[in-house]
Amino acid sequence: MELLQLEYFRELAHSEHLTKTAQKLYISQSAVSNSLHRLEQELGVPLFDRVGRGLRLNPYGQIFLEGVETAFNALQQSRSRMQALLQEEQEKVRILAFTSMQVYPTLFYPLISLCPNLSFLNKEVDDSEVVRILKDHEADLCLKGGVDPPPEEEGIRSILLHRQPLCIVVSRSHPLSAQRSVRIRDLGETAFASGSQQKKTLEDLFRRVHCTPRILFEGNHLRDILMAVLTGRYALLATWEACRSSGVPTDDLIPLPIDDVSVFLERRLYWREGDNSVSISMLRQTIIDYFEHPQP
């Protein structure tokens, strides 16, 4: 039994006229007649009563027509759902990414291949701003690094992707380079280089030991900040992973563990609860999988 046979039967059942059916389907009358003959042979029952030169749908045909209509309706519904899915997959999805996302360059290629209309907002924001941006639909997913616990906000979900210890990074010519580790309480006179996000974290870290950091160099990009650190005048609070991925040679840099305060940089993925479109779900899972299985 073929779909084309069912289509011929359906049209014939509605018109009960061979010539009209053939004309509507743009085929020969014999093609309709032969198709009906094969279908009746396969079913083992006649579907029409022959009345003179005409046809009339009989009880067998009426039962079969109900099944054919159900099948065609189901096929049409499936087609409509597929079209909706295609449109959804082609929708524009926005990801808000922290500026240090260059640490994971190989993440972007699979995301773009999944969603050609994917766009990125690349800026530093605090946790409260993440919540507002997601709730206002300015972004659909948010990748963010921070040292504070994620905000507990109704309608916003997050997952921990990666956790990396922060350290004090200095050049080999810096006075601290001879040490194996440092204590924050001893760094009150140390000159620091920092960016906007590192500055907030550095100030919070010093506040734990009732001190204030001396930030004497501020830059917008990690590469620029590291170049300042390489002069031997400044220290930097960062993850060693970020330094190694910055593009700046790290042969003359030394990461010093922090002894008196435990602090970790967490990378988290945020999204709106219940926002489970195909595109967003696939992108979200791709990001999670990437961090579960880091690229070499």
Nearest to 170 by CA among 162, 181, 157: 181
For residue 169, the model assigns a pLDDT of 97
Specify whether the CB–CB gap between 225 and 217 falls below 8 A: yes
The pTM of the full predicted model, rounded to 2 decimals, is 0.58
Most confident of the following: 50-59, 152-161, 192-201, 235-244: 235-244
Nearest to 225 by CA among 206, 238, 240, 213: 238
Q: Which domains does the chain have, with CATH numbers?
A: 3-89 (1.10.10.10), 94-161+268-292 (3.40.190.10), 167-262 (3.40.190.290)
Query: Phi and psi (nearest 5°) for 234?
Result: -125, 155
Nearest to 71 by CA among 17, 1, 15: 1
Percent of the chain past pLDDT 90, that is, above it, reads: 31
Specify whether the CB–CB gap between 286 and 156 falls below 8 A: no
For residue 88, the model assigns a pLDDT of 57
Specify whether the CB–CB gap between 198 and 236 falls below 8 A: yes
Neighbouring CB atoms inside 10 A of 151's CB total 13
Token pair belonging to 61: 């045909």
Q: What helix, strand, coil percent values describe the chain, rounded to 5? A: 45, 20, 30
Tokens 């084309």 belong to 4
Rounded CA separation 9/106 (Å):
55
Summarised one tens digit per residue, pLDDT across range 218-251 is 988 888 999 999 999 999 999 998 898 888 999 9
Which residues face 158 on adjacent strands?
270
Nearest to 263 by CA among 230, 239, 288: 239
Tokens 């300042």 belong to 228
For residue 86, the model assigns a pLDDT of 60
Summarised one tens digit per residue, pLDDT across range 245-289 is 888 999 999 999 999 888 888 888 999 998 877 778 888 898 898
Rounded CA separation 80/77 (Å):
5
Summarised one tens digit per residue, pLDDT across range 124-143 is 677 778 888 888 888 888 88
Which residues in the chain belong to E strands, given as ranges? 48-51, 54-57, 94-97, 119-122, 141-146, 156-165, 167-171, 191-194, 214-218, 236-238, 253-256, 264-272
Which stretch of 15-29, 107-121, 170-184 has the lowest confidence by average pLDDT? Answer: 107-121
Rounded CA separation 126/153 (Å):
14
Nearest to 250 by CA among 177, 176, 195, 172: 172
Q: Does the pLDDT of residue 190 top 70, yes or no?
A: yes
Summarised one tens digit per residue, pLDDT across range 97-126 is 764 445 566 777 778 777 777 777 777 677
